[in-house]
Amino acid sequence: MELEEGEVPVSPSGQYLNSDTLSFTILAVLEFEVPVDNLNIIQLIKDMFISTNPRFSSIMIGGRNEVKRWKPVQVQVEDHVKTPEFPPGESPEVYDKCFEEYMSDLAMDPLPQTRPLWEVHVIKNETSNAAGTVILKLHHALGDGYTLIGLLISTFKKADDPSLPLTFPSLRSSSKLNGNSSSIFRVVPRILQGIINTITDFGTSILKKEDDRSPIRSANEGVEIGPRNTTTITFSLDTIKQIKSRLNVTVNDVITGIILYGSRMYMEEESFESRNANSSALVVFNTRNIGRYKSVDEMVKPNANKLWGNQFTLSHVPIPKLSHIGNSSNPLEFIREVHKTMDRKKKSSAVYMTASLIECVRKFRGPEVAAKLIHGTLKDSSVALSNLIGPVEQMALQNHPVKGFYFTVAGVPVSTGIAVVSYMGKLRVAITSEKGYIDADKFKSSILKAFNIVCKITADV
């Protein structure tokens, strides 16, 4: 392949994330405390996109069987800024409905391939959640959630002191190993267990059968391009941490367990026969071996190519059946069951082997075949679940404080997609569901019910 001046090859993952088979788009929603009429969107675009990475000023070119590349173009900023007009003089509740419909349309509307793969949508109408809202629509080929959070933290400032940058949060909790942790009597069994887990998990992933059709999985063709409902739930991170401490698990185990417990309750309420349905969640794992987020300047250094872009893999987590756990009347057993699965996968290298398999397929069979492999894996699952650690401090843009923040991923071929992000001591859970098949309000109520039950039982332990 000969590159013209300024062109660079698209990363391997970027090639199959923007293909005939797959096209994922990240929708990051920023809810502001004050009206956004005076926001300088042009400056935002320059600070967040144009000046950070050449990908934001490039289009992706290349035929079906060619190695795709980024070609620099002149950015026509006005083509990337959308300001919808909702009916004037309505209440925030009415604008909630308008916003929901707009999000559904936005998820179904593909980004034009003839210009850089991003847009900024400015909602000036007041909703129940915000005085004004900005939606960042980014094609997944530009980068993953890690990249998005790095962009936000690098661009936004502290709300209580705009002269200071935001602090980059840690991606993993520190833990102290006891003095005997390096003993050969501990290390060897861990290595052997890791090998067994890797073989088991990788084999299970390769041979996994399609999930059963259920109230959370329609198995309809083209579900990724159909209309979606988007609802959100906010949980207290302190409460989640209290549950974590009581059960001696991780925050991720708790929130994943609650979501899957609520999903199973919704399934049984909608159809009692689905209590025996084989269902699974496809969980996204970040494969970067780093301890914290990096700034944009750090991510784009020549020796840091693996920080920017897409560095993730997927792993199946079965949704336990209430009748199969030790005490089906105690949801804590459900969470412990999820914890066992997640803990085993952490001690396994199967997720890295899966990523390597996809890369081998791309290298020898082409990006379209790799895209079909990922599409099939997602389509055979019931739920797609991803989570991010977000900013700890309140963000502000041009002295406009950000009240809330969440994200969703459009174009994923599942009936139920769930994205979790932390922000200012809160966990925001965004649920996207297949419109007309899943009762979005009832599903949300089931998740809330699961949370309240877990909180009550934990408090009594």
pLDDT tens across 111-128, in order? Answer: 999 999 999 999 999 999
Q: How confident is the model at residue 422, as a pLDDT?
A: 94
Q: How confident is the model at residue 366, as a pLDDT?
A: 80
Q: How confident is the model at residue 9, as a pLDDT?
A: 84
Q: How confident is the model at residue 203, as a pLDDT?
A: 55
Cα angle for residues 454, 235, 34 (degrees, 5° grid): 165
pLDDT tens across 278-295, in order? Answer: 999 998 888 777 777 888
CB 397 within 8 A of CB 155: yes
**Angstrom distance (rounded) from CA 329 to CA 33:** 42
3-state DSSP percent of the chain in helix, strand and coil, to 5: 40, 20, 35
**Angstrom distance (rounded) from CA 125 to CA 133:** 8
Q: How far are the Cα atoms of 212, 246, 425 from residue 371, in angstroms, in the given order? A: 23, 42, 36
**Angstrom distance (rounded) from CA 162 to CA 400:** 10
Q: In what order do the strands lie in the sheet containing 69-72? A: 8-9, 69-72, 58-61
Domains of the chain: 8-158 (3.30.559.10), 184-386+414-460 (3.30.559)
Q: How far are the Cα atoms of 19, 27, 448 from residue 229, in angstroms, in the given order? A: 25, 14, 17
3-state secondary structure 343-373: HHHHCCCHHHHHHHHHHHHHHHHCHHHHHHH
395: tokens are 């963000």
Q: How confident is the model at residue 126, as a pLDDT?
A: 97
At residue 175, what is the residue type? S
241: tokens are 């941490």
pLDDT along the chain (461 residues), means of 10: 73 86 95 96 92 92 78 93 95 96 95 95 97 97 90 93 88 45 50 56 62 95 94 96 92 93 94 90 82 80 71 85 64 86 73 74 82 90 94 94 96 96 96 97 96 88 61
